[in-house]
A and B are shown apart, each in its own frame.
Chain A
Amino acid sequence: MSTRLASHGRLINRARALSFTFNGKVMSGFEGDSLAASLLANDQMLMGRSFKYHRPRGVLASGGEEPNALINLGVESGFEPNARATTTETFSGLTAASQNHFPSLEFDVGAINSKLSRFLPAGFYYKMFIHPRSFWKHIYEPIIRHSAGLGKAPKARDQDSYEHYYHHCEVMVVGGGIAGLQAAQSAAATGVRVLLVEQTAHWGGRAPVDGVTIDGLAAEDWVAQTLAELAACDNVVIRNRTQGSGVYDHGYALAYERIADHTPGDGRPRHRLWRVRCKQIVTATGAIERPLSFAGNDIPGVMLASAVRDYVVNFAVSPGDRTVVVTNNDDAYRTALCLLEAGLEVPLIVDARPEGGGALMEAVQASGIRVALGRGIAKVKGGKRVTGVQICAQAGEGSVLEEVACDVVAMSGGWSPVVHLWSHCGGKLIWDADQAMFRPDPDQPPLGADGAGFVKVAGLANGHLRSAPVLEDAAEQGRAVGRAAGGKVQKAAVPAAMDAEEVALSPVWLMPQGASYALRSKAWLDFQNDVKVSDVQLAAQEGFESVEHAKRYTTLGMATDQGKLSNINGLAILSKSLNAPIPDVGTTTFRPPYTPISMASLAGEARGELFQPVRKTPMHAWHDSHGADWEPVGGWRRPYAYLRGSETVAQAVEREVINTREKLGFLDASTLGKIIVKGPDAGKFLDMMYTNMMSNLQPGRCRYGLMCSENGFLSDDGVVARIDEQTWLCHTTSGGADRIHAHMEEWLQTEWWDWKVWVVNVTEQLAQVAVVGPNARKLLEKLGGMDVSAERLPFMAWADGTIAGIDCRAYRISFSGELSYEIAVPANQGLVFWEMLMEAGAEFGAMPYGTECLHILRAEKGFIMIGDETDGTVIPQDLGLSWAISKKKDDFLGKRAQQRSFMDNPDRWQLVGLETLDGSVLEDGAYAIAEGSNANGQGNTQGRVTSTYYSPTLGKGIAMGLVHNGPERMGEVIYFTKIGTNPVQAKIVSPVFYDPEGEKANV
């Protein structure tokens, strides 16, 4: 059984016991524990079930590479699926539950898949479930989906907060082991700004566990001393619980800080995503121990040798009483020594190397432990827990030589440098045959903005397995990045590290080397996804020779650990199957993040109210408190209608239309874009921007203008007012202000940079109100201050003045067909002005109206709306707007485009009005049906509806649409689609439905 030891435990605080639950059972741990350590201390080796076969899974590792110990963590709004027990810090009140089983962790009916595993080899689903066709969707897929997935789907809404943080420095060092600390120190000594991050809560990495001494100090003490020195440097920022998660182009890196995962509810942000911009990066990310591939290597109790050591030394947890160590290298002997020292039993060390190891082996032998050389494990015995191992000759096919009882197998297949961050942005790898590992190729680094490498790798991650060269390498890389980032290198001694001599490992990719199919089909490569040696061999046999093909076919390395434990072993099996050297088979691409990071951290503060900025006019709050039914419009929110009492939206719209036509309505038009264009060449410039002539507009007058893209399509419209000889004010659509402003700047800066024109966007300086309806003038006259008579302010004129003491500019323009003034006042006075209008307008029947009323008013008059009549495929000529296209001008944006054969074409659909024969409202987006069908069997069309409304004014449906030869077909009845029923008949009419003579505005 696994249990807590009385000795050891450098990271735990025995004075602070913590209580937590696992699958409802109350357990206890200590402050400083990882959850995996706490669970083991409570004899909970079984922590999960595998993905495909639902086999029992125990913890395998002690860090972020853990594939098995994934749990449902927390409850309700604090729930998180797939939390790794090895990287979850135990806290008081923690609630954990195991995943992917039914009905329970101990008894999972899904484990039947394991019994059927011979029928479910790699890629079985590509070959099965083909017939009958409908069964995939209705039978097979639901079953597969049901058994897939790991953790539960979260349900309650996340209540935690998250944030981003931009950090600028010259050097970022990833990894707080001795290499990272040394690299940071060497880099900092050059005077540049350094950021050092460590993913765990602790500094020092493996060195304190492995008994390294540095400059005569125990590693632990050297780490504390170095850390204190770094903390005292002004130019160094150090950060634990912060993982270097990804390296991106131009010196951008992500660091994922888990601030409050271990202190939920303390009010701090849960995670902070650091967006680091630096010149140079050192990845001192260490290495990950490789499993060995032997039959039964997935049974709970089989663990990485280094993890066994970590649990004993760091957490005072014994994974089991009797541990068999199996290895191909010297390092695993440290585990045996450590267990021995903790008073635990090591009945046997199985070393696949015929010659065995060096000093560490001798030390082990000296303490009386038996070492079996040239041996391997034929098979592990046990179900939900290891009960023993069968020993065989490594060179053979698996004949059992002896059986040894044990409850833990500590395995070590050598070490793989963590090269992920090096590779994220294009760094290449070389195969180091002596050490059987891929390590970074210093000649092919990721390239930065200047074309030079910007990432260096230090220590274990760079392929240095012994601590002395680790520190030397780290110091050298630290100095190099400091220099490259603009620092000055000082001479400094490199701390001298001491550890045991080691002899070379011997690569072992399969144990025993001639293992039978029966053994190979029980030798796991990917523990979570259930990929075995036999699966990779089958993939190779079936032609999946590229490592990417093999990976995708078998799902090797695609689990939540992203192949940290399985990739190299799988690659070696593939290369053997293909009879090709490992480097020729290649590696898969490493993709960020290094380990999974929370989605919430990506969103940062942008959630809820801060999801996106809402632009608000000066009158926004008034609308909100007066029943506004909001509509998002280009970043703004505008009232769609103002609801009174128990009105429906449709009723409110109808009321607003009738009131505006009969009495008086106000529209908050502040969102309309307003751009000042000024200069000696401003007229010439606007003549290029607009299809109409703007240079000949007289000061004091307004003109409706159209803007097209250079590709000919109508892109914006609005009223242009000429202010003085050199100044124009251009109105744009609500969504268009920033876009049109940028469009003007673009042409001025990049094409006509010698033209003397200045442009300023003053949209937000002004609040604008449309005062609309038969009583509009009466109201303004009542308020007083300026002459708004037909004589002094005729249609399409503007004037500056004051109304009720507020400075304003009044435009006599109409988008409704009514007598109408648009009045602009300084934004800070917008609300006051609006409230004054409301109050003074009461006697004239004033009501505010929203965007839908605006739409109906303009549609009744046949005015086009950008975004309705236009959709990016419509040119002004389609909309009967040829009158707004100057024939006098040689050039304007879009003119040449409109001369192309498909645009200068009488067959284009043209704008008309449409009325159903029965007075009903045509459906939005309906198409006009034509005879027959096209070569692809699609029904032919001859037009479409662009705007359609119920007109409260006319008491019937009205619509505008584009119809083939429409203007020549007045009175003709054509058919429009209606969803789910028969087509509707509609008559082609003039698009001006109301007051065709324009009498109402002409007063």
Chain B
Amino acid sequence: MKRNSVFAVAREAMRQHSGWGRTWGNPEAKKAYDVVIIGAGGHGLATAYYLGKNFGITNVAVIEKGWLGGGNTGRNTTIIRSNYLQDPSAALYEKARSLYETMSQDLNYNVMFSPRGVMMLAQTHHEVRGYQRTAHANSLQGVKTEFISPARVKELCPIINIDGPRYSVLGALWQARGGSARHDAVAWGYARACTDMGMHILQKTEVTGITQSGGNVTGVDTSRGHIACKKLGMVVAGHASVVANMAGFQLPIESVPLQALVSEPIKPCMDVVVMANTVHGYMSQSDKGEMVIGGGTDAYNAYTQRGSFHHLEETVRALIETFPMVSRLKMLRHWGGIVDVTGDRSPILSKTPLGNTFINCGWGTGGFKAIPGSGWGFAELMAKGESPLTDQFGLDRFRAGRFIDESVAAGVAH
């Protein structure tokens, strides 16, 4: 595959860009592969990539019902951070964040990882204590974060109203090397690299059944016919229960729509990513100039890629309170994706009741930031049967009562 560089672009510019080839392949499906991954989103493609790169497993097919990267990978607000509280989460997300740092070079594809910094505002004393706790935890986890003052918040993000009459900003948890990346490019870059390793990405191929024998999966029935495999990975955010049901097991998951919106583009006014959890709003500015805003999830199950409108109203009023300038902007577009929410709101990277089958799901609202770490750990789990990155994220935790709960702000003081 042609290497991307400024020189390649300059060379092509002289011949009307006629020399650029396909970014990924469009192969005929083989009858059998060593590994089949269902789902060519970021997580599925990253899994395939690290199976090849770290374990030399390249006889791999990634099967996708629609177009690659077309699910939540291409619908999220692209925030990357690893300032999680619990050890297993921090390990996984920090692995991911560190892989994002070098992803453009690894993939020879500019995914525009921009470590512009992520801050999570503390607007109650309770939240201050919660984020200070996270900062302490992070200091032992190798995650670089700090709790910063309101003055520093204002300095990093001048458009914030730190003296809000309702919720003043009392500080923030700041991760300087958090940030964002271009979501589509992550999927495209992995797809290109997988193709380069000889893997097959089978788009517009729907899995309609899962064939089994003796407690193991033997392959998948698809709209292109049966495809046999030695190992199967299910990586279908949103539709995890649907695919698991096909394989005959149930998951501790509910699928709900999550929404996001963008404003019209304006000149740069915000260099960092801000999350305000007390008022439920988060925002960043894309390189195009749009304010990218995350909304809430519906409380009821749905597989429609659109949510209930009132969540947007709640989100926007919170943002106007936090960033008064938002009031005079216009909403350009809003959309939804389907997210899998687990019983403890942490993901599942796990073996399944079927011996050679593994599942990666339950990322809820935060899957994008995990893509490379998830792919790295899940590939290891699939190749070796265990991985330190994933071993706490097994399905068994729901039976044992061993939860990974990141929503520690459960109670309210007297």
Contact = CB atoms under 8 A, between A and B. Distances in A.
**Do A and B come into direct contact in the complex, CB within 8 Å?**
yes
Interface of A: 51, 79-82, 118-119, 121, 124-131, 133, 136-137, 141, 144-146, 148-155, 157-158, 246, 248-249, 252, 254, 275, 424-426, 517, 521, 534, 538, 541-546, 548-549, 552-553, 555, 560, 562, 589, 591-593, 596-600, 602-604, 606-609, 611-612, 614, 631-634, 640, 672, 711-713, 715-716, 733-736, 815, 851, 854-855, 858, 865-868, 870-873, 897, 900-903, 923-927, 929, 934-941, 944, 977, 979
A935 B289 contact: no
A128 B110 contact: yes
29 contacts: A51-B288, A79-B328, A121-B9, A126-B4, A130-B108, A130-B109, A136-B104, A136-B113, A141-B112, A150-B289, A151-B266, A246-B309, A521-B16, A541-B20, A549-B69, A596-B330, A599-B330, A609-B165, A631-B124, A631-B125, A632-B123, A632-B278, A711-B401, A736-B412, A867-B410, A939-B142, A941-B87, A979-B135, A979-B139
A145 B287 contact: yes
A520 to B, nearest CB: 9
A934 B391 CA distance: 12
B166 to A, nearest CB: 6
Contacts of B304: 249, 426
Given A543-B26, A716-B411, A925-B133, 17 more contacts: A82-B264, A82-B266, A124-B9, A136-B110, A137-B115, A153-B268, A158-B328, A252-B309, A552-B74, A555-B288, A560-B332, A598-B327, A599-B326, A599-B330, A609-B165, A923-B132, A926-B133
Interface string B112-130: 1111100000011110111
Contact of A902 (B12, B267, B400): B400
Contacts of B112: 125, 136, 141
Contacts of B185: 126
A468 B219 CA distance: 58
Interface of B: 4-6, 8-10, 12-13, 16-18, 20-26, 66-67, 69-70, 74, 87-88, 90-91, 95, 101-102, 104-105, 108-116, 123-126, 128-137, 139-142, 146-147, 159, 165-167, 182, 184-185, 188-189, 203, 263-269, 278-279, 287-289, 304-306, 308-309, 312-313, 316-317, 319-321, 324-335, 388-389, 391, 397, 399-403, 405, 407-414
A672 B304 CA distance: 41
A846 B34 CA distance: 78
A913 B52 CA distance: 52
A941 B115 CA distance: 29
A117 B287 CA distance: 19
B266 A815 contact: no
Contacts of B10: 119
A612 B314 CA distance: 10
B261 to A, nearest CB: 9
Given A546-B70, A634-B412, A130 B288 contact: no
B166 A597 contact: no
B388 A935 contact: yes
A149 B327 contact: no
Contacts of B24: 543
Contact of B132 (A542, A712, A858, A924): A924
A935 B114 CA distance: 29
B183 to A, nearest CB: 9
Contacts of A129: 6, 110
Given A599-B263, A602-B316, A977-B139, A591 B414 contact: no
A145 B289 contact: yes
A125 B112 CA distance: 8
Contacts of A713: 410
Task: Identify the interface centre among B126, B135, B305, B401: most chain A CB within 10 Å of its CB.
Answer: B401
Contacts of A715: 410-411
A136 B109 CA distance: 12
Contacts of A592: 333-334
Contacts of B104: 130, 133, 136
Nearest to B104: A130
Nearest to B4: A127
Interface centre among A79, A521, A926 (most CB of B within 10 A): A926
Nearest to B335: A591
B11 to A, nearest CB: 10
Contacts of A977: 136, 139-140
A562 B332 contact: yes
Contacts of B184: 552-553
Given A124-B9, A145-B289, A734-B413, A133 B105 contact: yes
A139 to B, nearest CB: 12
Nearest to A606: B317
Contacts of A148: 265, 267-268, 287-289
A814 to B, nearest CB: 13
B330 A597 contact: yes
Given A870-B411, A925-B136, A712 B401 contact: yes
Contact of A603 (B105, B111, B317): B317
Contacts of A154: 266, 325, 327-329
A596 B140 contact: no
A591 B334 contact: yes
A935 B334 CA distance: 42
A866 B412 contact: yes
B90 A938 contact: yes
A521 B18 CA distance: 13
A603 B265 contact: no
Contacts of A937: 91, 142
Q: Which 9 A-B pairs have the closest CB atoms?
A: A925-B133, A735-B412, A149-B289, A872-B410, A867-B411, A900-B401, A153-B269, A596-B330, A939-B140
Contacts of B125: 631, 640
B329 A927 contact: no
Contacts of A925: 129-137
Contacts of B137: 925, 927, 941
A150 B412 contact: no
Contact of A81 (B115, B167, B329): B329
Given A149-B268, A249-B306, A871-B409, A125 B110 contact: yes
B258 to A, nearest CB: 14
Nearest to A132: B105
Among A672, A923, A936, A939: residue with most chain B CB under 10 A:
A936
Contacts of A867: 126, 409-413
Contacts of B141: 938-939
A953 B212 CA distance: 69
A221 B278 CA distance: 56
Contacts of B23: 542-544
A599 B412 contact: no
A855 B414 CA distance: 8
A254 B142 CA distance: 48
Given A133-B104, A546-B70, A937-B142, A128 B412 contact: no
A553 B74 CA distance: 12
Given A149-B288, A155-B325, A248 B309 contact: yes
A119 B13 contact: yes
Given A136-B110, A872-B407, A548 B67 contact: yes
Most buried by B among A598, A599, A865: A599
B265 A545 contact: no
Nearest to B124: A632
Contacts of B136: 923, 925-927, 944, 977, 979
A871 B332 contact: no
A487 B182 CA distance: 51
A903 B399 CA distance: 11
A127 to B, nearest CB: 4
B129 to A, nearest CB: 5
Contacts of A901: 400-401
A528 B70 CA distance: 25
B140 A144 contact: no
A599 B166 contact: no
Contacts of B16: 517, 521, 534
Nearest to B20: A542
